[in-house]
Structures are given as structure tokens and as C-alpha cells.
Amino acid sequence: MTFQAPKGVSEYVPPRSALFEEAREAFANSARRACYGAMETAVFEDTALFVRGVGESSDVVRKEMYSFEDRGGREITLRPEFTAGVLRSVLENNLHKGALPVKVWTAGPAFRYERPQAGRYRQFYQFDLEAIGTQDPAVDAETIAVGYDAYTALGLRQFTLLLNSLGDPKCRPAYREALQNFLRGLGLDAETRERIELNPLRVLDDKRPEVRDQTANAPVMMDYLCAECKAHHDTVRGLLAGLGIPFTDAPRLVRGLDYYTRTTYEFDHALLGAQSGIGGGGRYDGLSEDIGGPPLPGIGFAVGLDRAVLAIESERALAPGEPARRNAGCQVFGVPLGEDTHRSMLTLVTALRRAGVRADMAFGARGLKGAMKAADRSGAAFAALIGGQERDHGTVRMKDLANGEQHDVPAAEAAAWLIERVLR
């Protein structure tokens, strides 16, 4: 019997895993530059945390959670999203009693019982960033800038920032009533009519053409914002313009989780078809109280790393002339030719690694042709060869794998020669 991964599991193996790592690191680096601290949170939580936090009326809670009773009789759920668990951890560890805002990021797998398709999985990966403890609209703009800068650092250009406001508990009830009254007059199916009563905003997010046609003239939240929410939204828009971050006003934009208030945004990629949302987030100023904590406003975003990888692949496929990004894999690949050269090569690659160079080497009794194929597959910029001739002359032959140029370098200077070229 040969085992396979369960249906809908997203996995990454070399060489494609290098793209996944590149995407995750781009967001981590952008977060670090903005002084967000790393944290690791539980992969499973009490089911009630998500029911109260994400919202009992959301599709995530009603249809998609992996929930079970553990051996101790506790109701447990694999996390379907990060924000509720991150906020729970912040409260439990009393981070909110120190300097505010609490600025943190994390990454890892999440789980939803979805219908598997490209960009939509049952086990998927997210990068999550949260700023907790302030209502300052500058923090809204900061989180957007962290995400925007990471996408651009990955070389992505064909994405759009969609921006909206979902109001707050003061102004949303009037909009909810107006939207429900409009939707009740449409000829929608039974399941959608049930959603009108539970969470009418989700009807606006329905992707079916027949539903979108019927709701094209539905009232939008922007027409019902109170003065405070409108001022907040206008400030965010002005801050983004000042940062040079282009955005598109999207009055129909809603999010799939119930805790969102005010600023709501999504990064949408033009080449990904139906699953075009590559990341998004917004404010959740009432979530802390919903899960039993004190009043504590917050904002954050989650990036679908799986979709980020698809976006990278789709854009780079359209630009085959662009130089390959070799920095995600090896930088130097060692080619020892003959058993008695392995020790010298291992010494060289170890010296390179200790200097911060990503280096690998061929193992076993590979011939030149096979070893050079391995060097090319590794993504390295240089191959370092030591054969009988090089051993006898005390040299290492360096081959630039991009242009084929070769240089013989004294063995004592080989590490420094490579370090200067790959780390400069």
C-alpha cells in the first residue's frame, strides 16, 4: 500500500518549496522592518473561541471547521484562521498590559473543510500580522504598507489593493436593515435567503453571476457611515495616497469573518482567476470583548501563502527573460571529482556556510556530467570544481553558471573569492 496526502492538503517540496520560503520570508522581513515581533500560537483551540470570535453565522463556523472531541472530552478545533488565536494569546500572556500597540506576526498552517481547487485547500498556509491596542488610522495604513511592500519585494506587479469600510456598531445596524430589506425582495435560493437573516453582508460576496446580477444595485455601507467612521476612512485613504500606495475603492468588499469593523481591505491578483484574493484584512475593534477580554481595538491581515506562490509563478511565467532568482536556493555548489577530493570540498563548503553562503556539494561517486546537472538544478550562481588536476595544482576551478565563464583560483583563496561574489 502506498500512502498519499489527504485530499486538499497543500504541500511544498524542492524545488518549488523555495518559492514558498521566498514568499514567507518577504512578509516576515517586511514585518520585522516595521518592528513587529514574531510569535507562535496553538494550532488547535477550544471550539468556543472561534464560535464567539469568528462568528456563529459565518460560513467558516457553520460549514468549514475541523472540530472534534478530544480524549478528555474537550471540544477542540484546528484553527481556521489566526486572529482569534493570536488575540487570545496576547490576552493570556498579558501583552496588552504593556506598551501599546502590541505588534506581532506569525505564520503556519490553517484548516478549513473546503472544496479543493487551485488556490483553495483544506490545509493551507498563512502569514498573519496583527497590531492590537490602538484605533489610530495610521496603524491601518501601516499594516497595508507592510503587505504592499512585501508583494512588491517579491516582484509582483499585477495586483490591486481594494479598500472599503464596514462601519461600526453605531452605524452598521441601519445599513444591515436597509440591505436586508433590499435582499428580501429578490428571488434568491433558500440557502441565500437564510444568509440574509444571519449575515446579509455575505450575500454581497457571493461569486455566482446570477446573484451578483441581482445584487448589483444593493445599498452599500459607504452611504451609511457615521461621521466618525467616515473621518477614519478618509484619513486612511489620505495616508495611503501619501505613501504612494495605489488603491481602488470597493464598496461591495466584505470579509468572510464576522468580527470586521471599519477599515477592510484585500489584495487581488489579476492572473489567478476565481481565487484571486492573495491576502487581506481589516479592523476588529470588538473582538476582544467577544472572547471575554477588555475593550482592545485591533487591525491585521492574513496572506494566503499558497496563492502568493501561484501569483509569483504566474507573473514570472509571463517574463521568461527576467533573470532567474537564484537567491532562494543554493549560491555555491561544490563538485568533487574523485573520492580523495571530497574532504577538500567539504572543508570549502563548510567555510562558505559559516560565512553565510548557502552551499551544497555532490555526494557519492558522481561523474562530471551528473554533478554539473545537480549544480544547475540547485540554482547556484557558481560551481566549484576540484578534480585530480586541481588537487595537484592546489587550485579550485570556479564556473559561473549564468554565463559559463571559468576561473582557476588558489585553494587557499577559494572561500574568499566566492564570498566576495555571492555576498557583495
3-state helix/strand/coil string of the chain: CCCCCCCCECCCCCCCHHHHHHHHHHHHHHHHHCCCEECCCCCEEEHHHHHHHCCCCCHHHHHHCCEEECCCCCEEEECCCCHHHHHHHHHHCCHHHCCCCEEEEEEEEEECCCCCECCECCEEEEEEEEEECCCCHHHHHHHHHHHHHHHHHCCCCCEEEEEEECCCCCCHHHHHHHHHHHHHCCCCCHHHHHHHHHCCHHHHCCCCHHHHHHCCCCCCHHHHCCHHHHHHHHHHHHHHHHCCCCCEECCCCCCCCCCCEEEEEEEEECCCCCCCEEEEEEECCCHHHHCCCCCCCEEEEEEEHHHHHHHHHHHHHCCCCCCCCHHHCCCEEEEECCHHHHHHHHHHHHHHHHCCCCEEECCCCCCHHHHHHHHHHHCCCEEEEECHHHHHHCEEEEEECCCCCEEEEEHHHHHHHHHHHHCC
pLDDT of residue 252: 87
Stated pTM of the model: 0.85
Residue 423: per-residue pLDDT: 87
Going along the chain from its start, the domains and CATH numbers come out as 17-171+225-317 (3.30.930.10), 329-422 (3.40.50.800)
**pLDDT given for residue 206 in this prediction:** 79
Residue 328 pLDDT = 53
Instruction: Please report the pLDDT score of residue 355 as a whole number.
Output: 93
Compute mean pLDDT per 10 residues along the chain, 424 residues long, and list them.
92 90 95 96 96 83 92 96 96 95 97 89 96 95 95 95 94 90 88 85 83 89 94 96 95 78 95 89 94 95 96 83 52 90 92 93 88 90 94 94 94 95 87
Q: In the prediction, which pLDDT does 209 show?
A: 87
